[in-house]
Structure 1
Amino acid sequence: MPRKKPPVVITCAITGAIHTPTMSDALPYTPEDIAAQAIAASEAGAAILHLHARRPQDGGVTIDPEAFAAFLPRIRQSTDAVVNISTGGSLTNSIDERIAPALRFSPEMCSLNMGSMNFSFHPLARRYDTWKFDWERDYVARSDGNIFRNTFADIENAANQLAPHAIKFEHECYDVGHLYNLRFCMDIGLFKAPVFIQFIFGILGGIGPEVDNLVFMKRTADRLFGDDYRWSVLGAGGAQMPLATTASQMGGNVRVGLEDSLLIARGKLAESNAQQVAKIRRIIEDLGSEVATPGQAREILGLKGADRVGF
C-alpha cells in the first residue's frame, strides 16, 4: 500500500503590513477584530495563526509590542492554534525593533526573512481614487522606494537573540537565492534541522507566481536540505488558491489569509480570513488529503508547545 500522506498544515496570515483599510472592509485592524478573525480562522481549520499588529485608530502598521499585547492573550485563551509572530512587519525599522514583539512574548513560531530585496506594492495605489485614512495613499505609492533589509548580520542578530526562547522560524524565501542564504546560515550553526521554509511567490521584487517556479524552488530545496526541511507555499493575490492547491498535492503545507490576498475568487473580495481557510480546507479534503490539527502541526514542526509562550 502507498504510504499515507501527512496532514496538511494550514497557516492563516490575518492582517499583514501590505493591504490598507481602503482596499477591503474585511481587513482587521482593531485588536478586537484581529482576535475575532484569528479565532474564527482557527475554528475553520488553520493550525497556525501568523500575526501582525495595526494601529486601532486608523489601521496603520505598527510593531509596538503593546499593540500585540492587546490581542494575543484573547487568542491564546480562545484557541489552541499555534501563534506565529512576524519579525518582518515593517520595511523601515531595524531588525532589533522588528524582533521586539517576539522577544517579549516568546511565541512558538515567528517569521524570519532570508534575504534583502526590493519589496513593493505601489501599483495598488492606482486602483483607488479615495482613501479612508490620510496615511494610506503615500504608504502604498512610495513603497517603490523600499528595500526590505535582511542582511546576514540581521539574520544572525535575530537568530541569536531569539535562540533562548526556543522559537521555530518560518523561514520566508521570496526567491531562490534566499534558499542558499538559509543553507549558509545552517552551515554556520544559526539554525538546526529540520527547518520550516515558506516559499513565497508573487510579491513585486521576488520570484513570480508560476507553477514552474514552485517546482524549481522545491527541487532546489530538496538539493540543499534533503530531508531536513518542511515546507509551505504562499501565493500573493490571485495566485493564493491555485498555488496552495498545487502545494497541498505535492506534499507541502499552505498559507492563506488577508495579509496575502484580499480575494476569495477572481474579482471577488473575501468576507473574512475564515472564508479563505474554509475554502482551502475544502479543496484539500476534496482532493483526498487531511488537514492538520494544531497538535499535529506542533508534532510535524517540532514546536515547544503553547505552555511555554509568554502571553
Structure 2
Amino acid sequence: MARSVIITCAPTGGIHTPTMSPHLPVTPAEIARASIEAAEAGASIIHLHARDPETGKPDPRPETFMQFLPTIKQSTGAVINVSTGGGLGMTMDERLAAATAASPEMASLNMGSMNFGIFPMLEKYSDWKHPWEPKFLGMTRDFIFPNTFATIEYALKNLGEAHQTKFEFECYDLGHLYNVKWFVDQGLIRPPFFIQMVFGILGGMGADLENLMHLHRTADRLFGPENYEWSVLAAGRHQMPFATQSAMLGGNLRVGLEDSLYIGKGELAVSNAQQVERIRGIIENLGLSVATPDEARERLGLKGGDRVAF
C-alpha cells in the first residue's frame, strides 16, 4: 500500500519580499498564525524563517524566532523545522544561531554551494515598500550561496549531533545528492534521513520532470529506498505540478509562500493554508492520504517535541 504523504509548509522564507505580496507573513504573530493555519490544513512539518517585524528583512536572531516558536508548538502538533538557510548573505554562525538556541526536532541544511539568482524579480516591481528589497535582490547577480564541506560538517556536528536535531537536506542539484552520500559514508548522516529536492531556482536544477525522475532514481541507488524519505519543492508556477508529481511517484512534498506566492495563474495565494488545502485535495483525489505529524516523526526518526528548547 502507498504510504501517506508528508506535507511540509514553508510559510515565509527568506527570498520573497514584502512588496511582492500583502499576504507574506512578516511579524512573529503573522508567522505563528500562518503556521498554525497550515498545520490545521494538513501540514505535518512547518519549515520556518524569521523576519524583522518592522522591515520584513530576513532576521537570524534567536530572540525573533522565540517570539513565534513557542506559540506554534503550543497550538499544533506539527514538527517544527528551523531553517539554517537564513537569508542570502548571512554567515553560517548567523544561520545556525536560532536552531542551536531552539534545539528543534528538525532543521534545514543546504548541501552545496551554488549561484542563487533571484535578481530577475527586480523586473517585476518598481514601487518598493522598503529600500533593502531591490538591493537584496540585485546583489544575487554576483553572489554564491556558500555551503562548503567544512560548514556542512560544522552544522552536522554542532546542531545535528549536539542537539539530536535531524535535517531536511536541501538538494538543488545532482551533485548535492553525492555530497549527502559522502557524509553518509563518513557516518555523520544516519538513516532515516530526509532529502528535499529543490527545482526552479536560477543557479540550480530546472523544473523539468526528467530532472525529478533522474534525481529520484539516483537517490534510490545511492542510499537505498529503505533508508531515506524524499520530498520535492519547486519554485513559482512549478510548485503545484511538481508537488503533485512527487505524490504520484510515492514521494512527499513542500508548499508555502516561501516557494511560491501564487495559488493559480496570476492569482496571489491569500494564505499558506490555502496552498496546503489545495495540495491536500489533490493528494486525496489521487486516492492517497496525508501523513499526521506523529507519522512523520516515526518515519523520520525524530526525537519528539518534548525534547526541544522552546
TM-score, structure 1 length as denominator? 0.98
Contact 1:118-1:146 within 8 A present in 2 as well: yes
CA distance in 1, matches of 2:98, 2:72: 15
Cα shift at 1:267: 1.4
**Aligned counterparts, 1:167-186, within 5 A:** 167-186=165-184
Instruction: Report the equivalent of 1:44.
Output: 41
Residues 103-147 of structure 1: CA distance to partner in whole angstroms, max 9, x if unpaired?
100000000000000011100011011011111111112221221
Q: Does 2:136 correspond to 1:139?
A: yes
1:224 is aligned with what amino acid? L
- Alignment match, 1:61: 58
Question: Which residue is equivalent to 1:152?
Answer: 149
The 3-state SS of whatever aligns with 1:99 is helix
Identity %: 58
Secondary structure at the aligned position of 2:297 is classed as: helix
* Structure 1 CA distance for aligned equivalents of residues 71 and 143 of structure 2: 34
CA contact (8 A) 2:15 2:87 kept: no
Q: Residue 196 of structure 1 contacts residue 301 of structure 1 at CA under 8 Å; is this kept in 2?
A: yes
Is 1:6 the counterpart of 2:3 in the alignment?
yes
Is 1:258 paired with 2:238?
A: no
Choose which of 178, 187, 190 in structure 1 pairs with 2:188: 190
Structure-2 residue corresponding to 1:230: 229
**Equivalent residue pairs, number:** 308
Contact 2:192–2:299 under 8 Å retained in 1: no
1:93 to partner: Cα distance: 2.1
- TM-superposed deviation, 1:91: 2.2
Does 1:111 find its partner at 2:146?
Answer: no
Q: Which runs of 5+ in 2 are unaligned?
A: none
- Within 1, Cα distance between the matches of 2:251 and 2:11? 21
- What does the per-residue CA deviation read over 1:45-99, in whole Å, with 9 as the maximum and x for residues that have no partner? 0000000000000111111111101111111111110000000112222212211
CA distance, structure 1, for counterparts of residue 276 and residue 171 of structure 2: 22
What is the CA–CA distance in structure 2 between the aligned matches of 1:93 and 1:36, rounded to whole Å? Answer: 26
- Identify the residue that residue 300 of structure 1 maps to in structure 2: 299
Structure 1 runs (4+) deviating above 6 angstroms are none
Task: Give the alignment of 1:9-28 within 5 angstroms.
Answer: 9-28=6-25
CA distance in 1, matches of 2:166, 2:155: 12
1:161-198 per-residue CA deviation (whole Å, 9 max, x = no partner) reads: 01121111000000000000000011111111221100
Shift, 1:229, TM fit = 1.1
Query: 1:122 — aligned with what?
Result: 119
Q: State the secondary structure of the residue aligned to 1:84.
A: strand
Give me the whole-angstrom Cα distance separating, in 1, the residues matched to 2:298 and 2:8. Answer: 15
Q: Which stretch of structure 1 is more off in the superposition, 220-229 or 233-242?
A: 220-229
- Distance in 2, matches of 1:242 and 1:190, equals 34
Distance 2:92 2:120 in 1: 27
Letter in 2 for 1:152: F
Three-state SS of the structure 1 residue aligned to 2:80 is strand
Contact 1:91 1:149 (C-alpha < 8 Å) held by counterparts: no
Following superposition, the deviation at residue 155 of structure 1 comes to: 0.4
For 1:95 and 1:56, locate their aligned partners in 2 and report how far apart those are by CA, in whole Å: 22
CA deviation after TM superposition for structure 1 residue 158, in Å: 0.6
Counterpart secondary structure, 2:203: coil
Deviation at 1:300, TM superposition (A): 1.3
Corresponding residue for 2:212? 214
Query: What letter matches 1:167 in structure 2?
Result: T
* 1:302 positional shift: 1.0
Q: AA paired with 2:69?
A: L
The partner residue of 2:99 within 93, 102, 109 is: 102
Query: What do the CA deviations read for 1:224-249 (whole angstroms, capped 9, x no partner)?
Result: 11121110000110000000000001
| Alpha-carbon distance in 2 for matches of 1:157, 1:137 | 32
- Amino acid across the alignment from 2:215: M
Q: For residue 270 of structure 2, what is the amino acid of its counterpart?
A: E
Corresponding residue number in structure 2 for 1:35: 32
Runs of 5+ in structure 1 lacking a partner? none
The 2-side partners of 1:267 and 1:235 are apart by 17
Q: Is the 8 A contact 2:117 2:202 kept in 1?
A: yes
Q: Corresponding residue for 2:288?
A: 289
- TM, length-normalised to structure 2: 0.98
1:199 pairs with one of 174, 191, 197:
197
